Amino acid sequence: MRIFILFIVAGGVFLIFLAGKRALRSRRRRQLTAMQFPQEWETILERNVALYRHLPEDLRDQLRNDIKIFLDEKRFEGLGGLELTDEITVTIAAEACMLLLNRENRYYPGLISILVYPGAYVAEENIPIGGGVYVEGPSVRLGESWKHGSVILAWDDVKRGALNAEDGHNVALHEFAHQLDQEDGLADGAPLLGKQSSYAVWAQIMNEEYKRLRADTGHHKKSALDKYGATNPAEFFAVATETFFEKPRQLKKKSPYLYAELEAFYKVDPAEWFNEEI
């Protein structure tokens, strides 16, 4: 009985601690939201983040507030001799927060740090050669997302992708989409959707579009989606996210059901941000 009572007391103290922590975090976020967005950061967004220039003003306001919170809560680290600057951190934060607009912002709760290399970097990778056998070898990478708290990015590719909002290639959007996918602990192309009933429709449409991309890739047919999305369902979701934000009108025309699912998930309609006709 004594152990049981102690367990209840300890549990109550822990819950109080969590509630206090959440209250402090909420207060800090309100303070950040009330603070003026630095003009130097605004200049960086206008210069570096082409998508920002397409946003309606209400979404710009949201993005600026989200950036302030993201930069306050996440740790950035330069690797490979890279010296971090406001240009690097604000540009990356803007790309990350682009995926949070109009959503119940959770600010990537499992994400702790963003590690930034000056350019492409080499990592060891287990490469399958068949029969369940893997060979370890070097792999050149532009970015990756870890389930255990980190996103790694190559700055030169991040900047190149941010500057061009219409080519469908954006390593930052890609890797932060992986973070959303991994919030349930799995990298399977199915992020947290809220209602249980949403998963069946999501799975049906994503699977159909994934198989379609694999077929198109196998037959060398053009697609609005980059062929890298045919690698596996997780990469398909990340590539679809890039395309949704950067080539929305093409995606909406060629894959309307996929576009509708992504629109419902991200709660924005990027096709409205661009002036070109479908």
Residue at 254 is within a domain: yes
Domain membership of residue 211 as a residue range = 188-278
Span 185-210, pLDDT tens digits: 999 999 999 888 889 999 999 999 99
Residue at 56 is within a domain: no
Residue at 220 is within a domain: yes
Per the structure, the count of domains in the chain is 1
Nearest Cα to 169, choosing from 221, 97, 113, 243? 243
Beta-ladder partners of 78: 116
- Mean pLDDT, rounded, of the chain: 89
Residue at 10 is within a domain: no
Q: Which pLDDT belongs to residue 142? A: 80
Residue at 57 is within a domain: no
Tokens representing residue 133 in the block = 């056998």
Low-confidence ranges of the chain (pLDDT < 70): 1-20, 124-138, 275-278
Residue at 71 is within a domain: no
- CA dihedral in degrees (159, 165, 171, 175; nearest 10)? 120
Residue at 53 is within a domain: no
Residue at 64 is within a domain: no
DSSP structural state of residue 37: P
Q: Which pLDDT belongs to residue 277? A: 43
Nearest Cα to 41, choosing from 110, 95, 81, 87? 87
Residue 224: CATH number of its domain: 3.40.390.10
Span 228-277, pLDDT tens digits: 999 999 999 999 999 999 999 999 999 999 999 999 999 999 999 986 54
Q: Which pLDDT belongs to residue 13? A: 52
What's the whole-model pTM score? 0.86
